[in-house]
Amino acid sequence: MSEEGNKDIALFFNIGNRDVKIGGKIIPKEEVRSRGEEILNNYDSFKERLNFELVSPFLKKFNPNKVYLFVTNQEDPEFRKQDTLFFGRIIQRFIKERGIKCEVKHYEWKPTDYNLAFLFFTNFFKDFDNHSRKIISTSGGVPAMKFAMQIVASSLFNNVEFYSVDERTHDVKPVDIENTLKKELVKRSAIELLKRHDYAGIINLLENNRIENRKLRLLLEYAHNRLCFNFDTANAKINDFINSLPSVEKGEYEKLKIDFLDKKVLFNELFQNMAIKWENGEYIDFVGRLYTFNEILLQMIFEEETNTTNKIDWQSKEEGNEQFTEILKNHPDIEQKIRSEFKIPTGEIIKTTDGALEICFDYFMKRDARRLGPLWDIYSNTKELVEKLRHYTIVAHGLKGVSKEKIMELYGSELVIEDLRKIVNSLSRDENIFNEINTILDKYIKEL
């Protein structure tokens, strides 16, 4: 039964590839323009087999006096075959046969570009009659165009209503567009925060908008704690997430657990963390991590060249110093260089200082210059910039700031991250786990 009363009703549709069917079947996207033109040119022959399941229910329910159809008609030949221009003209003919005015509006820009879509609908609606009752279909069409039309119309008018069609029952149902749009805006904001790896920011965004999703929350808490080097909590969160999944899906996410006993894994973890700091413009934090990166680099070079991986407790200075001294007995040339440089009497413990390890690195580099020479050069350059910058910042003993330009000036190149990546690939494996994490999070956010 159509609605009675006010006849000043306008309907608005974004036309997509599901708006015209033949015998109940959807026309493939790649054939929308060509088949649409064929149907339009032979309308009377196709007429009895055409289905307009996303439009007809609206006409029946609201009995409007005007309908607007927004169709795509792009210039780019690569995308023209998917344009809905002729679908719109077919529907226009169908509507006019029922004595209803109908206009087809051409959208000639890239339909997936949100900025262009907002500009198009702002220009369309800005001079539009504010008195008519406006009914907007949220079914069909390109997401960017639908979203833009909904935002612009709801911003400019108070008398706009949103409805969708149940494609199974063909019932027309009102849409709570305020909550729908709010969730869409939250999702878009979350995706932008995700690009900066701001997992805590996404958690706060969801909380402030009262959007709950336990699996997404666990993943975000896992990612945030991992980024903060809180590996125990991160592993606890990913275990909770995995346990919430069906058995067939659990194995896919086991790789997200952190093996924080493997130094090579942690070395790569540190580098990926530094790369994020660099990308986000957090240069003081980058320099602070670079100091630690160089310390671990020296340790790993020593272990690799002396075949003593996991034989030194670098965290326990007393035990570590004794183990280091004992291993050096097997390398008397290096031991003598260190004792001579730091005036350490024979028999006394040699401490695992950066200076001692640097002498070891220099010795190994001269022994295998082809392999270790490039790493030594990168280390030397980064050591210099750390010494000149870190000491005066908040990660050491001062309040001085750090800029990207200053880092590159002291390093002597713009390729800071690229060069550090070479070190990682030489001693570990450059594996950007945070890109994998973000891909998973992107999927969960879009499904909210």
Q: Are 389 and 376 in contact (CB under 8 A)?
A: no
**Higher local confidence (pLDDT), 129 or 82:** 82
Read off the pLDDT of residues 161-178 as tens digits, 9 standing for 90 and up: 999 998 889 999 998 876
Question: Which CATH number, 3.40.50.300, 3.40.366.30, 3.40.50.970, 3.40.50.10770, labels domain 9-175?
Answer: 3.40.50.10770
Across 353-404, the runs of DSSP E, i.e. the strands, are none
- Residue 164: which of 145, 186, 146, 187 has the closest Cα? 146
Mode of pairing for the β-strands spanning 66-72 and 101-107? parallel
Phi, psi of 257 (to 5 degrees): -70, 150
> Helix, strand or coil for residue 322?
helix
Query: Which residues lie across from 274 on neighbouring strands?
Result: none
Read off the pLDDT of residues 270-316 as tens digits, 9 standing for 90 and up: 999 999 999 999 999 999 999 999 999 999 999 999 999 989 999 88
Its pTM stands at 0.66
Q: How confident is the model at residue 197 (pLDDT cuts 50, 70, 90)?
A: very high
Read off the pLDDT of residues 55-88 as tens digits, 9 standing for 90 and up: 999 999 999 999 999 999 998 887 899 999 999 9
Lowest mean pLDDT, pick from 81-90, 138-147, 433-442: 138-147
pLDDT value at position 5? 42
* Mean of pLDDT over the chain: 92
Distance CA 73, CA 88 (A): 10
Q: What is the DSSP string of 269-311?
A: HHHHHHHHHHHTT-HHHHHHHHHHHHHHHHHHHHHHHHT-TT-
Q: Spell out the SS3 assignment of 180-245.
A: HHHHHHHHHHHHHHHHCCCHHHHHHHHHHCCCCCHHHHHHHHHHHHHHCCCHHHHHHHHHHHHHCC
E strand or H helix at 335, and its extent?
A: helix 332-342
- Structure-block tokens of residue 108: 């000639």
pLDDT value at position 1? 43
Distance CA 368, CA 261 (A): 29
Domains of the chain, residue spans: 9-175, 183-260+436-446, 264-430
- Structure-block tokens of residue 183: 């969730």
Mean pLDDT of 39-63: 95
- Residue 25: which of 41, 47, 49 has the closest Cα? 49
For helices 433-446 and 177-195, the axis angle rounded to 10 degrees is 180
- Structure-block tokens of residue 375: 């790493």
